[in-house]
Amino acid sequence: MYTVVTGAAGFIGANLVKALNERGVRKIIAVDNLSKADKFRNLVDCEIADYLDKNEFIERLAAGDFDGDVDAILHQGACSDTMESDGRYMMENNYRYSLALLDWCLDQEAQFLYASSAATYGGGGVFREERQHEAPLNVYGYSKFLFDQIVRQRFATADSCNSQVVGFRYFNVYGPRESHKGRMASVAFHHYHQFQSEGRVKLFEGCEGYADGEQRRDFVYVDDIARVNLHFLEHPEKSGIFNVGTGRAQTFNELAVANVNACRALAGQEALPLAELVKSGLIEYIPFPADLRGKYQNFTQADLTKLRKAGYKGEFSKVEEAVPQYVKWLNGRA
């Protein structure tokens, strides 16, 4: 039996392929769209049984080529660009594609684990997996929200009784294998490259009651994301839609301090506190963009109550722990 990973050459998908390999899984069908060819590098150190273009995979799935041969689909394939304005493309790529895979897995009684997003919550301040807290601000968030709604409808029918269906609402993910994402790569990624090129990290000044650099996000390391996925893969009796973050909101200042000090450590320099980094010009505050006012998430923090009730007991790394690991990985590939 095969395990299928869609979006396999992408950020989270490639990390899942690698994590599966580390657990001895080699019969993996990697599915992706390599129109952005640079993504192939994410799979160079991974072992897979086959690679299929997304369109070919959909055609062969519909033709019955994989009937009875797949025990699980880890569906990470999506357009994750929150600035994408082509709603027709977004809905076809994120919603219709996901729906086709869901229906196939329900028919085949195969496990279906898929990537949702914290973007489903929009600008609200409560991040709990409940309908009243969901109000996406862009078509990306809406595509994820709508599919979650369909999954909830399926949960209410007998069709899903024999199939595991799990949606993961990822928060601000960072870590190895995201270089191809360009401007959509994580803040941690951009901090590292900004420090390497300019010798400083730039953060937004305060706004809407937040002091300089004190806006807060739930930054979650991609290794922790992979562990959550594999936990549910090993527990096919558990279904649902779950937040996947650390459950803590950390400031952009904390993220920048961890990044700059990790870079300094590579150069044999001592760690400095925030005040010293600012005084030395290694962290700089820039005016908050006028066009982002009222559209910017100043705070995100995953409510992990439902995830913990489902039995996941794993700990999530703080930025002080994971960012230095990531910086070493980036530096080794500079």
Within this chain, do residues 205 and 111 fall inside the same structural domain, yes or no?
no
Within this chain, do residues 13 and 105 fall inside the same structural domain, yes or no?
yes
Within this chain, do residues 92 and 106 fall inside the same structural domain, yes or no?
yes
Within this chain, do residues 85 and 150 fall inside the same structural domain, yes or no?
yes
Within this chain, do residues 292 and 307 fall inside the same structural domain, yes or no?
no
In-domain check, residue 175: no
Is residue 263 part of an annotated ligand binding site?
no
- Domain boundaries, position 225: 2-170+221-244+303-316
Within this chain, do residues 188 and 232 fall inside the same structural domain, yes or no?
no
**Range 173-184 average pLDDT:** 94
Within this chain, do residues 13 and 152 fall inside the same structural domain, yes or no?
yes
pLDDT band at 114 (very low <50, low <70, confident <90, very high): very high
Note the pLDDT tens digit of each residue in 212-265: 999 999 999 999 999 999 999 999 999 999 999 999 999 999 999 999 999 999
pLDDT band at 79 (very low <50, low <70, confident <90, very high): low
Note the pLDDT tens digit of each residue in 118-147: 999 987 889 999 999 999 888 888 999 999
Within this chain, do residues 11 and 94 fall inside the same structural domain, yes or no?
yes
> What is the total count of domains within the chain?
2
Residue with tokens 């305060």: 206
Is residue 78 part of an annotated ligand binding site?
yes
Within this chain, do residues 22 and 36 fall inside the same structural domain, yes or no?
yes
Q: What is the pLDDT of residue 189?
A: 98
Is residue 183 part of an annotated ligand binding site?
yes
What is the distance between the terminal CA atoms of the chain, rounded to a whole angstrom?
A: 38
pLDDT band at 293 (very low <50, low <70, confident <90, very high): confident
Catalytic positions, written as ranges: 140, 181
Read off the CATH number of the domain in which 209 is found: 3.90.25
Q: What is the pLDDT of residue 233?
A: 98
Within this chain, do residues 240 and 281 fall inside the same structural domain, yes or no?
no
Read off the CATH number of the domain in which 53 is found: 3.40.50.720
In-domain check, residue 176: no
In-domain check, residue 227: yes
Within this chain, do residues 237 and 145 fall inside the same structural domain, yes or no?
yes
Q: Identify which of 56, 53, 4, 51 has the alpha carbon closest to the alpha carbon of residue 25.
A: 4
In-domain check, residue 334: no
**Range 268-282 average pLDDT:** 97
Within this chain, do residues 110 and 133 fall inside the same structural domain, yes or no?
yes
**Region at 199 (left for phi over 0; alpha for psi -120 to 50; beta for the rest):** left
Note the pLDDT tens digit of each residue in 189-219: 999 999 999 999 999 998 888 999 999 999 9
Please check the confidence at residue 296 and state whether its pLDDT lies above 80: no
Is residue 32 part of an annotated ligand binding site?
yes
Q: Identify which of 275, 267, 256 has the alpha carbon closest to the alpha carbon of residue 320.
A: 256
In-domain check, residue 60: yes
- Record the pTM: 0.94
Is residue 224 part of an annotated ligand binding site?
no
Instruction: Record the tokens describing residue 297, joined without a space.
Output: 């998430």
Is residue 39 part of an annotated ligand binding site?
yes
Q: What is the pLDDT of residue 244?
A: 98
In-domain check, residue 189: yes
For residue 23, the tally of other CB atoms under 10 A from its CB is 9
In-domain check, residue 116: yes
- Percent of the chain at pLDDT above 70? 95
CA gap 217, 255 in Å, rounded: 10
Is residue 21 part of an annotated ligand binding site?
no
Q: What is the pLDDT of residue 35?
A: 82
In-domain check, residue 177: no
